[in-house]
Amino acid sequence: MSFAVRLTPLFVALSAMMSSTTHAEEKAEGFVEGSSLNLHFRNAYFYRNQLAHDVRDNREWGQGAVARFESGYTPGALGVGIDAYGMLGLKLDGGGGHAGTSLLPTHQKNEDALGAAPTSFSSAGAAVKLKGFDTELKAGDLFLTNPVIAGGETRMLPQTFRGVALRNTHFDGLLLEGGQVSFTKPYNQSGHRRIDTYYSQRTDDQRSKHLSWAGAAWSGLPNITANLYAAELKDIWNQYYADFDYTYVVNDGLSLNPGVHVYHTQDTGQAKLGKIDNNTYSLHFTVAAGHHSVTTAYQRVNGNTPFDYINLGDSIYLDNSRMYSDFNGPGERSWKLQYGYDFSGLGIAGLSTSLSYSRGKLDLTRADPDSAGYGQWYSAEGKDARHWERDLDVKYVFQEGQFKDLSLLLRYASHRGSRGYSAVDNDNDEIRLIVDYPLAVF
Protein backbone atom coordinates (compact mmCIF):
# COMPACT_ATOMS: atom_id res chain seq x y z
CA MET A 1 0.00 0.00 0.00
CA SER A 2 1.47 3.38 -1.01
CA PHE A 3 1.90 6.25 1.41
CA ALA A 4 -0.49 8.34 -0.70
CA VAL A 5 -3.21 5.76 -0.11
CA ARG A 6 -2.44 5.77 3.60
CA LEU A 7 -3.11 9.52 3.66
CA THR A 8 -6.74 8.89 2.71
CA PRO A 9 -8.06 8.31 6.27
CA LEU A 10 -6.71 11.70 7.34
CA PHE A 11 -8.46 13.55 4.53
CA VAL A 12 -11.67 11.61 5.18
CA ALA A 13 -11.53 12.53 8.86
CA LEU A 14 -10.92 16.21 8.11
CA SER A 15 -13.81 16.24 5.64
CA ALA A 16 -16.07 14.67 8.22
CA MET A 17 -15.15 17.33 10.76
CA MET A 18 -15.85 20.03 8.21
CA SER A 19 -19.31 18.71 7.44
CA SER A 20 -20.33 17.90 11.01
CA THR A 21 -19.06 20.92 12.93
CA THR A 22 -21.65 23.26 14.43
CA HIS A 23 -19.96 26.56 13.65
CA ALA A 24 -21.92 27.21 10.44
CA GLU A 25 -23.23 30.49 11.80
CA GLU A 26 -19.75 32.00 12.12
CA LYS A 27 -19.41 35.01 9.85
CA ALA A 28 -16.76 34.99 7.14
CA GLU A 29 -14.16 37.73 7.43
CA GLY A 30 -14.70 38.82 3.83
CA PHE A 31 -12.52 38.51 0.74
CA VAL A 32 -11.38 42.15 0.88
CA GLU A 33 -11.83 42.84 4.60
CA GLY A 34 -9.63 39.88 5.55
CA SER A 35 -6.88 40.54 3.01
CA SER A 36 -3.29 41.59 3.72
CA LEU A 37 -0.20 42.64 1.77
CA ASN A 38 3.23 42.22 3.32
CA LEU A 39 6.62 43.16 1.92
CA HIS A 40 9.92 41.70 3.04
CA PHE A 41 13.25 43.17 2.00
CA ARG A 42 16.45 41.24 2.70
CA ASN A 43 19.99 42.32 1.98
CA ALA A 44 22.34 39.35 2.33
CA TYR A 45 26.13 39.05 2.18
CA PHE A 46 27.78 35.62 2.28
CA TYR A 47 31.53 34.97 2.42
CA ARG A 48 33.09 31.52 2.80
CA ASN A 49 36.86 31.37 3.19
CA GLN A 50 37.88 27.95 1.85
CA LEU A 51 41.09 27.03 3.67
CA ALA A 52 42.07 24.28 1.24
CA HIS A 53 44.82 25.61 -1.05
CA ASP A 54 43.19 24.36 -4.27
CA VAL A 55 39.64 25.62 -3.57
CA ARG A 56 38.49 29.17 -4.31
CA ASP A 57 36.65 31.25 -1.74
CA ASN A 58 32.90 31.85 -2.19
CA ARG A 59 31.60 35.41 -1.96
CA GLU A 60 28.22 36.79 -3.04
CA TRP A 61 26.02 39.75 -2.10
CA GLY A 62 22.44 40.44 -3.08
CA GLN A 63 19.22 42.31 -2.40
CA GLY A 64 15.94 40.44 -2.26
CA ALA A 65 12.33 41.61 -2.16
CA VAL A 66 9.23 39.50 -1.52
CA ALA A 67 5.62 40.69 -1.78
CA ARG A 68 2.93 38.39 -0.35
CA PHE A 69 -0.79 39.04 -0.77
CA GLU A 70 -3.30 36.94 1.19
CA SER A 71 -7.00 37.52 0.66
CA GLY A 72 -9.77 36.80 3.11
CA TYR A 73 -12.59 34.41 2.23
CA THR A 74 -15.88 35.03 0.49
CA PRO A 75 -18.96 34.73 2.74
CA GLY A 76 -20.82 31.43 3.05
CA ALA A 77 -20.30 27.94 4.40
CA LEU A 78 -17.47 27.42 1.88
CA GLY A 79 -15.26 30.47 1.50
CA VAL A 80 -12.98 31.06 -1.48
CA GLY A 81 -9.78 33.08 -1.49
CA ILE A 82 -6.43 33.50 -3.17
CA ASP A 83 -2.81 33.93 -2.08
CA ALA A 84 -0.17 35.36 -4.41
CA TYR A 85 3.49 36.29 -4.22
CA GLY A 86 6.22 37.95 -6.25
CA MET A 87 9.97 37.75 -5.65
CA LEU A 88 12.94 39.65 -7.05
CA GLY A 89 16.62 39.04 -6.40
CA LEU A 90 19.35 41.47 -7.46
CA LYS A 91 23.05 40.67 -7.58
CA LEU A 92 25.18 43.33 -5.92
CA ASP A 93 28.46 41.38 -6.05
CA GLY A 94 29.51 37.91 -7.13
CA GLY A 95 31.91 37.12 -9.92
CA GLY A 96 32.31 33.70 -11.53
CA GLY A 97 35.49 32.97 -9.61
CA HIS A 98 33.69 33.33 -6.29
CA ALA A 99 30.24 31.90 -7.05
CA GLY A 100 28.72 28.99 -5.19
CA THR A 101 27.27 30.27 -1.91
CA SER A 102 23.76 29.35 -3.19
CA LEU A 103 22.72 32.91 -2.42
CA LEU A 104 22.43 33.59 -6.16
CA PRO A 105 21.62 31.36 -9.15
CA THR A 106 24.45 29.12 -10.33
CA HIS A 107 25.75 29.08 -13.90
CA GLN A 108 27.93 26.10 -14.86
CA LYS A 109 30.78 27.61 -16.87
CA ASN A 110 32.47 24.24 -17.38
CA GLU A 111 32.94 20.96 -15.54
CA ASP A 112 35.28 22.52 -13.00
CA ALA A 113 34.04 26.08 -12.56
CA LEU A 114 30.92 28.14 -11.97
CA GLY A 115 30.30 31.26 -14.02
CA ALA A 116 29.02 34.54 -12.66
CA ALA A 117 25.38 34.63 -11.55
CA PRO A 118 22.90 36.72 -13.58
CA THR A 119 22.31 40.29 -12.45
CA SER A 120 18.74 39.51 -11.41
CA PHE A 121 16.25 36.66 -11.04
CA SER A 122 12.57 36.62 -10.17
CA SER A 123 9.47 34.47 -9.76
CA ALA A 124 5.77 34.77 -9.05
CA GLY A 125 3.04 32.36 -8.07
CA ALA A 126 -0.41 31.98 -6.59
CA ALA A 127 -2.61 29.49 -4.76
CA VAL A 128 -6.38 29.11 -4.66
CA LYS A 129 -7.75 28.38 -1.19
CA LEU A 130 -11.03 27.06 0.16
CA LYS A 131 -12.19 27.24 3.77
CA GLY A 132 -15.08 25.39 5.32
CA PHE A 133 -15.45 26.00 9.05
CA ASP A 134 -12.13 24.86 10.59
CA THR A 135 -10.60 23.26 7.47
CA GLU A 136 -8.52 25.04 4.84
CA LEU A 137 -7.39 23.64 1.47
CA LYS A 138 -4.77 25.37 -0.69
CA ALA A 139 -3.72 24.40 -4.22
CA GLY A 140 -0.90 26.07 -6.11
CA ASP A 141 2.32 27.67 -4.90
CA LEU A 142 2.83 27.07 -1.19
CA PHE A 143 5.03 28.27 1.66
CA LEU A 144 5.48 25.21 3.89
CA THR A 145 7.10 24.77 7.29
CA ASN A 146 7.01 21.45 9.12
CA PRO A 147 9.58 18.81 10.17
CA VAL A 148 9.36 16.75 6.94
CA ILE A 149 9.00 19.53 4.34
CA ALA A 150 10.10 23.06 5.19
CA GLY A 151 11.10 25.65 2.63
CA GLY A 152 14.62 27.01 3.03
CA GLU A 153 14.78 30.59 4.35
CA THR A 154 18.46 30.97 5.23
CA ARG A 155 19.50 32.81 2.06
CA MET A 156 18.12 35.88 0.26
CA LEU A 157 14.71 34.61 -0.87
CA PRO A 158 12.47 31.82 0.48
CA GLN A 159 11.83 28.43 -1.11
CA THR A 160 8.32 27.49 -2.27
CA PHE A 161 6.55 24.30 -3.34
CA ARG A 162 3.80 23.54 -5.86
CA GLY A 163 0.98 21.18 -4.90
CA VAL A 164 -1.91 20.94 -2.44
CA ALA A 165 -2.06 21.30 1.35
CA LEU A 166 -4.87 20.73 3.84
CA ARG A 167 -5.05 22.05 7.42
CA ASN A 168 -7.62 21.58 10.18
CA THR A 169 -7.77 23.43 13.53
CA HIS A 170 -11.11 22.10 14.84
CA PHE A 171 -9.64 21.06 18.19
CA ASP A 172 -8.05 23.69 20.40
CA GLY A 173 -4.30 23.24 20.54
CA LEU A 174 -4.22 20.64 17.74
CA LEU A 175 -3.26 21.21 14.12
CA LEU A 176 -3.87 18.40 11.63
CA GLU A 177 -2.35 18.77 8.19
CA GLY A 178 -1.41 16.85 5.08
CA GLY A 179 -0.70 17.34 1.42
CA GLN A 180 1.29 16.49 -1.65
CA VAL A 181 3.75 18.59 -3.65
CA SER A 182 5.41 17.73 -6.96
CA PHE A 183 7.71 20.69 -7.65
CA THR A 184 9.90 23.09 -5.72
CA LYS A 185 11.24 26.55 -6.50
CA PRO A 186 14.63 26.75 -4.72
CA TYR A 187 15.58 30.00 -3.05
CA ASN A 188 18.28 30.77 -5.64
CA GLN A 189 16.33 30.03 -8.83
CA SER A 190 13.48 31.52 -10.85
CA GLY A 191 11.92 28.29 -12.12
CA HIS A 192 10.51 25.10 -10.63
CA ARG A 193 11.95 21.59 -10.68
CA ARG A 194 11.12 18.16 -9.33
CA ILE A 195 11.92 17.55 -5.68
CA ASP A 196 15.28 16.04 -4.77
CA THR A 197 17.29 15.59 -1.58
CA TYR A 198 20.31 17.35 -0.17
CA TYR A 199 22.67 14.51 -1.11
CA SER A 200 21.17 13.43 -4.45
CA GLN A 201 23.20 14.04 -7.60
CA ARG A 202 20.80 16.68 -9.00
CA THR A 203 19.91 14.40 -11.93
CA ASP A 204 16.42 13.47 -13.13
CA ASP A 205 16.90 9.82 -12.21
CA GLN A 206 17.49 10.82 -8.58
CA ARG A 207 14.56 13.23 -8.32
CA SER A 208 11.12 12.30 -7.07
CA LYS A 209 7.70 12.73 -8.69
CA HIS A 210 6.21 14.03 -5.47
CA LEU A 211 6.36 14.20 -1.69
CA SER A 212 3.24 13.34 0.36
CA TRP A 213 2.92 14.08 4.06
CA ALA A 214 0.53 14.01 7.02
CA GLY A 215 1.05 15.20 10.55
CA ALA A 216 -0.24 16.59 13.82
CA ALA A 217 1.13 19.45 15.94
CA TRP A 218 -0.13 19.62 19.52
CA SER A 219 0.16 22.49 22.02
CA GLY A 220 -2.86 21.73 24.20
CA LEU A 221 -1.15 22.26 27.55
CA PRO A 222 0.88 25.29 28.70
CA ASN A 223 4.64 25.02 27.99
CA ILE A 224 4.31 21.63 26.22
CA THR A 225 4.48 20.96 22.47
CA ALA A 226 4.59 17.70 20.53
CA ASN A 227 4.66 16.84 16.82
CA LEU A 228 4.08 13.63 14.88
CA TYR A 229 4.66 13.55 11.09
CA ALA A 230 5.10 11.05 8.27
CA ALA A 231 6.18 11.62 4.67
CA GLU A 232 6.85 9.66 1.51
CA LEU A 233 9.32 10.98 -1.06
CA LYS A 234 8.20 8.73 -3.89
CA ASP A 235 10.73 6.06 -4.90
CA ILE A 236 13.29 7.42 -2.43
CA TRP A 237 12.17 7.20 1.22
CA ASN A 238 9.48 6.99 3.86
CA GLN A 239 10.32 9.35 6.72
CA TYR A 240 8.74 9.55 10.18
CA TYR A 241 9.25 12.25 12.79
CA ALA A 242 8.29 12.84 16.43
CA ASP A 243 9.28 15.42 19.02
CA PHE A 244 8.42 16.53 22.53
CA ASP A 245 9.37 19.79 24.22
CA TYR A 246 8.60 20.95 27.76
CA THR A 247 9.43 24.19 29.58
CA TYR A 248 9.26 24.04 33.36
CA VAL A 249 9.04 27.50 34.90
CA VAL A 250 10.71 27.41 38.31
CA ASN A 251 10.09 31.10 39.02
CA ASP A 252 10.07 34.43 37.21
CA GLY A 253 13.80 34.28 36.64
CA LEU A 254 14.48 30.59 36.04
CA SER A 255 13.15 27.95 33.61
CA LEU A 256 14.24 24.48 32.49
CA ASN A 257 13.62 23.18 28.98
CA PRO A 258 14.22 19.53 27.99
CA GLY A 259 13.30 18.26 24.52
CA VAL A 260 13.81 15.46 22.01
CA HIS A 261 13.61 15.14 18.21
CA VAL A 262 13.49 11.75 16.43
CA TYR A 263 13.56 10.81 12.71
CA HIS A 264 13.31 7.37 11.11
CA THR A 265 14.00 7.06 7.37
CA GLN A 266 13.68 3.96 5.14
CA ASP A 267 14.06 3.51 1.39
CA THR A 268 10.90 2.82 -0.60
CA GLY A 269 9.76 2.01 -4.13
CA GLN A 270 12.59 2.15 -6.68
CA ALA A 271 15.02 3.28 -3.94
CA LYS A 272 16.69 5.78 -6.28
CA LEU A 273 19.33 6.67 -3.69
CA GLY A 274 19.93 3.08 -2.64
CA LYS A 275 19.25 1.35 0.66
CA ILE A 276 18.34 3.62 3.58
CA ASP A 277 17.71 2.50 7.15
CA ASN A 278 18.44 5.48 9.35
CA ASN A 279 17.41 6.43 12.89
CA THR A 280 18.49 9.90 13.99
CA TYR A 281 17.69 11.70 17.23
CA SER A 282 18.79 14.69 19.27
CA LEU A 283 18.27 15.64 22.90
CA HIS A 284 18.60 19.10 24.40
CA PHE A 285 18.39 20.69 27.83
CA THR A 286 18.28 24.46 28.32
CA VAL A 287 18.58 26.41 31.55
CA ALA A 288 17.35 30.01 31.24
CA ALA A 289 18.21 32.29 34.15
CA GLY A 290 17.31 35.94 33.83
CA HIS A 291 18.75 37.16 30.54
CA HIS A 292 21.16 34.22 30.23
CA SER A 293 20.60 30.76 28.73
CA VAL A 294 22.82 27.69 28.51
CA THR A 295 21.96 24.74 26.24
CA THR A 296 23.55 21.33 26.02
CA ALA A 297 22.63 18.90 23.23
CA TYR A 298 23.50 15.39 22.13
CA GLN A 299 22.78 14.04 18.66
CA ARG A 300 23.14 10.55 17.19
CA VAL A 301 22.79 9.14 13.68
CA ASN A 302 22.24 5.37 13.64
CA GLY A 303 22.80 3.97 10.15
CA ASN A 304 25.38 3.70 7.37
CA THR A 305 23.90 6.63 5.47
CA PRO A 306 23.69 10.27 6.59
CA PHE A 307 20.44 11.81 7.75
CA ASP A 308 19.09 13.32 4.51
CA TYR A 309 16.40 15.94 3.87
CA ILE A 310 14.81 17.98 1.06
CA ASN A 311 17.39 19.87 -1.00
CA LEU A 312 17.88 23.52 0.04
CA GLY A 313 15.11 23.11 2.63
CA ASP A 314 15.02 23.53 6.39
CA SER A 315 13.31 20.24 7.25
CA ILE A 316 16.09 19.13 9.58
CA TYR A 317 14.67 19.74 13.04
CA LEU A 318 17.77 18.55 14.90
CA ASP A 319 19.54 20.37 17.72
CA ASN A 320 23.03 20.15 16.23
CA SER A 321 22.12 21.49 12.79
CA ARG A 322 24.44 24.48 12.76
CA MET A 323 25.27 27.33 10.39
CA TYR A 324 27.68 25.22 8.29
CA SER A 325 27.51 21.57 9.36
CA ASP A 326 24.46 19.54 10.37
CA PHE A 327 26.54 16.88 12.16
CA ASN A 328 24.38 14.33 10.35
CA GLY A 329 26.97 11.98 8.82
CA PRO A 330 26.56 8.18 8.83
CA GLY A 331 26.85 6.83 12.36
CA GLU A 332 27.79 10.26 13.71
CA ARG A 333 27.66 11.17 17.40
CA SER A 334 27.87 14.84 18.30
CA TRP A 335 27.36 17.22 21.20
CA LYS A 336 26.86 20.96 21.51
CA LEU A 337 27.28 23.62 24.20
CA GLN A 338 25.58 26.98 23.58
CA TYR A 339 25.32 30.21 25.53
CA GLY A 340 22.85 33.00 24.81
CA TYR A 341 22.39 36.46 26.25
CA ASP A 342 19.62 39.07 25.87
CA PHE A 343 21.13 42.54 26.25
CA SER A 344 17.87 44.01 27.51
CA GLY A 345 19.37 43.00 30.85
CA LEU A 346 21.86 45.83 30.29
CA GLY A 347 19.21 48.21 29.01
CA ILE A 348 19.78 47.50 25.28
CA ALA A 349 16.42 46.14 24.15
CA GLY A 350 16.48 44.27 20.84
CA LEU A 351 20.11 43.15 21.03
CA SER A 352 20.85 39.44 21.56
CA THR A 353 23.71 37.05 20.95
CA SER A 354 24.56 33.34 21.06
CA LEU A 355 27.84 31.46 21.04
CA SER A 356 28.14 27.70 20.53
CA TYR A 357 30.68 24.93 20.11
CA SER A 358 29.75 21.61 18.46
CA ARG A 359 31.86 18.50 17.97
CA GLY A 360 31.18 15.26 16.08
CA LYS A 361 32.79 11.85 15.61
CA LEU A 362 31.98 9.25 12.94
CA ASP A 363 33.31 6.16 11.14
CA LEU A 364 33.27 6.82 7.39
CA THR A 365 34.56 3.33 6.53
CA ARG A 366 31.03 2.03 7.30
CA ALA A 367 29.50 3.98 4.42
CA ASP A 368 28.80 2.02 1.22
CA PRO A 369 31.07 3.37 -1.55
CA ASP A 370 28.67 1.94 -4.15
CA SER A 371 25.58 3.68 -2.76
CA ALA A 372 23.75 5.62 -5.49
CA GLY A 373 23.07 8.56 -3.20
CA TYR A 374 25.62 8.40 -0.41
CA GLY A 375 28.78 6.78 -1.81
CA GLN A 376 30.65 10.10 -1.45
CA TRP A 377 30.61 9.61 2.31
CA TYR A 378 32.99 6.64 2.16
CA SER A 379 36.59 7.31 3.18
CA ALA A 380 39.23 4.63 3.68
CA GLU A 381 40.96 6.98 6.15
CA GLY A 382 37.75 7.88 7.96
CA LYS A 383 37.73 5.22 10.69
CA ASP A 384 38.08 7.87 13.38
CA ALA A 385 36.85 10.99 11.58
CA ARG A 386 36.19 14.06 13.71
CA HIS A 387 35.14 17.66 13.13
CA TRP A 388 34.04 20.70 15.12
CA GLU A 389 32.33 24.03 14.57
CA ARG A 390 32.19 27.32 16.45
CA ASP A 391 29.26 29.66 15.82
CA LEU A 392 28.60 33.26 16.86
CA ASP A 393 25.36 35.14 16.17
CA VAL A 394 24.73 38.79 17.04
CA LYS A 395 21.30 40.25 16.25
CA TYR A 396 19.72 43.64 16.75
CA VAL A 397 16.05 44.46 16.10
CA PHE A 398 14.92 48.08 16.10
CA GLN A 399 12.20 48.45 18.72
CA GLU A 400 10.59 51.72 17.67
CA GLY A 401 10.76 54.62 15.29
CA GLN A 402 10.85 54.68 11.52
CA PHE A 403 12.90 51.47 11.32
CA LYS A 404 10.80 49.48 13.80
CA ASP A 405 11.18 45.68 13.21
CA LEU A 406 14.22 46.14 10.93
CA SER A 407 16.85 43.63 12.05
CA LEU A 408 20.60 43.26 11.59
CA LEU A 409 22.11 39.78 11.93
CA LEU A 410 25.83 39.01 11.91
CA ARG A 411 26.77 35.33 11.79
CA TYR A 412 30.23 33.79 11.98
CA ALA A 413 31.17 30.11 11.79
CA SER A 414 34.49 28.31 11.87
CA HIS A 415 34.60 24.63 10.84
CA ARG A 416 37.53 22.21 11.06
CA GLY A 417 37.88 18.49 10.43
CA SER A 418 40.46 15.75 10.93
CA ARG A 419 42.40 14.18 8.08
CA GLY A 420 39.84 11.38 7.81
CA TYR A 421 36.95 13.85 7.66
CA SER A 422 38.56 16.04 5.00
CA ALA A 423 37.61 13.45 2.37
CA VAL A 424 33.96 14.58 2.63
CA ASP A 425 34.26 18.24 3.67
CA ASN A 426 36.67 21.17 3.76
CA ASP A 427 37.89 23.42 6.54
CA ASN A 428 36.47 26.92 6.20
CA ASP A 429 35.35 30.11 7.90
CA GLU A 430 32.05 31.82 7.08
CA ILE A 431 30.67 35.30 7.57
CA ARG A 432 27.06 36.17 6.83
CA LEU A 433 25.47 39.58 7.22
CA ILE A 434 21.70 39.78 6.82
CA VAL A 435 19.51 42.89 7.00
CA ASP A 436 15.76 42.16 7.17
CA TYR A 437 13.02 44.75 6.85
CA PRO A 438 9.42 43.46 7.02
CA LEU A 439 6.71 45.95 6.11
CA ALA A 440 2.96 45.48 6.43
CA VAL A 441 1.22 47.53 3.73
CA PHE A 442 -2.30 46.59 4.90
Give 70-105 pLDDT, tens digit per residue: 999 999 889 999 999 999 999 999 877 788 888 998
Query: For the domain that residue 118 is a member of, what is the CATH number?
Result: 2.40.160.10
Q: What is the average pLDDT value for the chain, to the nearest integer?
A: 91
What is d(CA 199, CA 416) in angstroms, rounded to the nearest whole number? Answer: 21
What is d(CA 197, CA 431) in angstroms, rounded to the nearest whole number? Answer: 26
What is d(CA 317, CA 336) in angstroms, rounded to the nearest whole number? Answer: 15
104: domain range?
3-440
pLDDT tens, position by position, 355-409: 999 999 999 999 999 999 999 999 999 999 999 999 999 999 999 989 999 999 9
Q: What is the pLDDT of residue 3?
A: 55
CA nearest to 307, candidates 263, 273, 275: 263
Q: What is the pLDDT of residue 108?
A: 63
Are the beta carbons of 266 and 338 closer than 8 angstroms? no
Q: How many domains does the chain have?
A: 1
Sort 26 into a burial class: Cβ within 10 Å, 0-12 / 13-18 / 19+: exposed
For the cut 60, the answer to whether the pLDDT of residue 24 exceeds it is no
Confidence of residue 113 (pLDDT cuts 50, 70, 90): low
Confidence of residue 25 (pLDDT cuts 50, 70, 90): very low
